[in-house]
Amino acid sequence: MVRFKRRYLLVEISFKDGRVDDKIATRLIYDTVKNAVKDSHGDYGMACVARSLQVKYVNPVTGMAFIACSRDYYRMVWSALTFIRTITFKKTAIPCMFRVLHVGGTLVSCQKFLIRHNKSQLLQLLQQCKTPAERQKISKTIKKAEEYEVPLDPKKRKIFSSTAVKILPDEEDFDSN
Amino acid sequence: MAAFADLNVPYLDDPRATEKLVSKAVKLGFETIAICKTYRFQNECGKETRKGKGKGKDRASLSPINWDVFPAIQAMKNKNPRLKFYSRITIPLDDQNQIHPVFTEVGNAFDIVAVQPTTEKLFQQACKSLDIDIISLDMTRRLPFYLKFPTVHAAIERGVHFEIMYSTALRSTSERTQLLSIALDLVVFTKGKNIIMSSGAENELDFRGPYDLVNLGLLFNFKEEQSKAAITKNCRAVLFHSEARRGAERSVISGKLLPQHANEETEAITMETCSEDEASKGDDHQKEATGDGDNGDDNYEPTKKKAKV
């Protein structure tokens, strides 16, 4: 028995001027990606991708999303993602940009990457800080994030799944600033 | 590995807007960026020329576009020394008569010179004889001529690169189809060599990340390696080629004064190209220089450069 091989694309969705839009939801991204695949690869591409395409996780605050699809056709999904210009939300098209940060074979590897990425992002923010108050705030979040790093050990996965997700919303306040 | 490069970030009238574009490109991971002006023949001919000459003067300090307008770019450069900025000009060619006056004016003022030929004859000329670095085809419409193998091959031999500007593909379905078909054609004729991908994005959101572009290249029938080369190695080759075109007439080795050795004349000259590449290659070039030193053929120079890269 061979398992069904997938690829997980970690996608960063960014809007104009680094703004954040918390309206993006799983369903919305799924539709956008599906339409994009149809636009750029036609019926054949749609047929290849449709069965396995899934949006696993969306964080509207950081604009991160995991998109899963079968390993044979992930290039198709990826190239469709590059052609996306807008997300249509309730009939208003919001210009945006999809950028693939990481391609992984398992969700855990993607998650690890995402946490590392967020951490480095926080460090960058720390460097950009001008007032000491801001500095303190960010270093506090970094410390907090470090606490959650231990559960990444696969043996302690149970704790991980319940706590680690909390890391992301915390940092976000700074991303939007 | 060469750094990721975007050799076409348009120069907008508003310097703030240009800065925004550049900072976005840097954020996405590009490290070599060329700011591109488009030469307009009728309207702003005089103005552009004057600007061009001004840039020519301070070429010694390696800041061809008057970078004073972009304080943010300077700041970025100071913060991250790996960032490199270049200036580039794109000249749309419609008429045979335009060529000569333009090139005498523009020649040395910009780091990179690109042309956009619109007729078959001009395309041929661009491939075979013009002293340029990049041939950029208008990919929003059908090509008014067919690409031919000997012509394209001549360009590759000389080390001239072809450009695929992907931002037009994002605009509409028809333009995307057009770009894909021309790009596919181009890849067939060049066998995937000597092609660079660049953005030409007038909007912040028209940029795409480097790895997205590598994947996009696979759509153009690039091989994976070539696709990556299109935004790394080939861009570096363009820069070497332009260096050869500007700095050295009928010579192979070019030197630059390093600041710490400025006073000691004996140590002053270092082989710039060798510092970029392996130093061992330097000997080979020396030999070539003495052997073919009196070769006045224009075609001679670029092939040499290509061999280095």
The residue type at B281: K
Average pLDDT over residues B115-143: 83
**Residue in A17, A83, A97 nearest the CB of B169:** A83
What SS3 state is found at B44?
coil
Query: Residue B268 — pLDDT band, cuts 50, 70, 90?
Result: very low
Residues of B with CB under 8 A from a CB of A: 28, 169-170, 173, 176, 203-205, 207-209, 211-213, 215-216, 218-219
Q: Is the pLDDT of residue B226 over 50?
A: yes
What percent of chain B shows pLDDT beyond 90?
0
Q: Is B191 left (phi over 0), alpha (psi -120 to 50) or beta?
A: left
Query: What's the rounded Cα separation, in Å, for the pair B237 and B133?
Result: 9
Q: Using DSSP bridges, classify how beta strands B161-165 and B5-10 pair: parallel, antiparallel or unpaired.
A: unpaired
Q: What is the pLDDT of residue A142?
A: 76
By C-alpha distance, the chain B residue nearest A13 is: B205
Mean pLDDT of B95-111: 68
B215 and A78 within 8 Å at the Cβ level: the answer is: yes
Cβ within 8 Å, pair A95-B176: no
Q: At what angle do helices A74-82 and B210-219 cross, to 10 degrees?
A: 110
Task: Lowest mean pLDDT of A117-126, B69-78, B268-277, name the range.
Answer: B268-277
Q: What band does B309 get if pLDDT is binned at 50, 70 and 90?
A: very low
The pLDDT-based confidence of A62 (bands split at 50, 70, 90) is confident
Tokens 């198709």: give the residue: A76
Closest listed residue to residue B202, CA positions, set B4, B1, B14, B60: B14
Angstrom distance (rounded) from CA A4 to CA A92: 37
Question: CA B272, CA B243: separation in Å to the nearest integer?
Answer: 10
**pLDDT tens digits, residue range B52-101?**
433 333 232 233 566 667 777 778 777 777 888 888 888 888 777 666 66
Q: Judge whether residue A177 has pLDDT over 50.
A: no
Q: Residue B72 and residue A44: Cα distance in Å, rounded? A: 47
pLDDT in tens, B43-53: 434 444 444 43
Pairwise CB contact (< 8 Å): B212 & A99? yes
Residue of A nearest to B169 (CA): A83
Instruction: With beta carbons under 8 A apart, name residues in chain A contacting B209.
Output: 99-101
Global pTM?
A: 0.72
Higher pLDDT, residue B75 or B301: B75
* Cβ separation A16–B205 shorter than 8 A: yes
C-alpha torsion angle, residues B151, B154, B158, B163 (rounded to 10): 40
How far apart CA B142 and CA B75 sit, in angstroms, is 42
ipTM, two decimals, is 0.75
- Which pLDDT belongs to residue A94? 80
CB pair distance less than 8 Å for B216 and A79: yes
C-alpha B243/C-alpha B229 separation (Å) is 19
Q: Give the residue numbers in A contacting B (CB under 8 Å), as ranges.
A: 14-17, 39-40, 75, 78-79, 81-83, 85, 95-97, 99-101
Mutate to test the interface with B, among A19, A82, A85 (most CBs of B within 10 A): A82
Query: How much is the average pLDDT of A48-75?
Result: 86
